[in-house]
Amino acid sequence: MSSYKLKVLLTGTPADSREELMKNVIKNRFAANYKLTVGVDILTKDVEFRTGEIATLSIWDIGGQQRFEFIRSTFYKGASGVILVFDLTREQTYIRVKEWLTEIKHFVGPNIPFVLIGNKVRLSDKFKVAIDRNKVSEFVLAAGGIYIEVSPNMISNINKALRDLTKRIIDSRNPN
């Protein structure tokens, strides 16, 4: 049985509900209370990405508020992958995560595996979707990432994205 330890960055804007999203996945329960990430919050999750192969993800939830911008890049060192979350009903959140991806690639490397998560897909039926989903898919495909759309309680979709991201990280380290 193979086992890996991987550092994965998690980022997005305060309005994207990423903390709620990830805590649901990691603790498999809905978190009713939300508090802003201050600097960094570290969560861990074991992911079986192939039969008998497990990776422990150390997920660094990096504060998206502008006041943390001056320290954010210090948390990038040693990252193996990235999870970027944006709100499908707020275009500015998508623009911002694209900027973060550029920033992270600058500090970590241009080929860092990533997953882009369009959050609040269930709300997108009630509110106008502010993002052209085809353009998002084209962007992620061209950048070599994974794209999914979820709501905080869609745990199976998020777990699949984490498995796929973990596979890409491991495969990028062991090209055969």
Which residue did the predictor score with more confidence, 175 or 36?
175
pLDDT for 131 beyond 50? yes
The reported pLDDT for the residue numbered 67 is: 56
How far from 160 is each of 25, 80, 167, CA to CA, in Å? 11, 18, 11
Spell out the domain ranges in the chain.
2-173
Average pLDDT over residues 127-133: 71
pLDDT above 60: residue 127? no
- 126-163 burial: b if 16+ Cβ within 10 Å, else e: eeebebeeeebeebbeebebbbbbbbbebbeebeebbe
- Write down the pLDDT at residue 151: 73
Which of 66-70, 112-116, 146-150 ranks highest by mean pLDDT? 112-116
Section 141-163 average pLDDT: 84
* Residues contacting residue 99 through CB under 8 Å, at least 6 positions apart: none
Q: What confidence score (pLDDT) does residue 48 get? A: 93
- Kindly write down the DSSP assignment for every residue of 73-108, as one continuous string: GGG-TT--EEEEEEETT-HHHHHHHHHHHHHHHHHH
In the chain, % of residues over pLDDT 90: 36
Q: 58-77 burial, b if ≥16 CB within 10 A, otherwise e?
A: bbbbbbbeeebeeebeebbe
User: Greater confidence, 125 or 61?
Assistant: 61
Which is more confidently placed, 157 or 28?
Answer: 157
Residues 6+ apart with CB under 8 A from 139: 98
Of the listed ranges 25-39, 112-126, 147-161, the one predicted with least confidence: 25-39
Q: Is the predicted pLDDT of residue 35 greater than 50, yes or no?
A: no
Q: What residue spans of 28-154 are helical by DSSP H?
A: 69-72, 91-108, 133-143
Position 32 pLDDT exceeds 60:
no
Q: Which fold has domain 2-173?
A: Rossmann fold (3.40.50)
For all residues of the chain together, what is the average pLDDT?
79
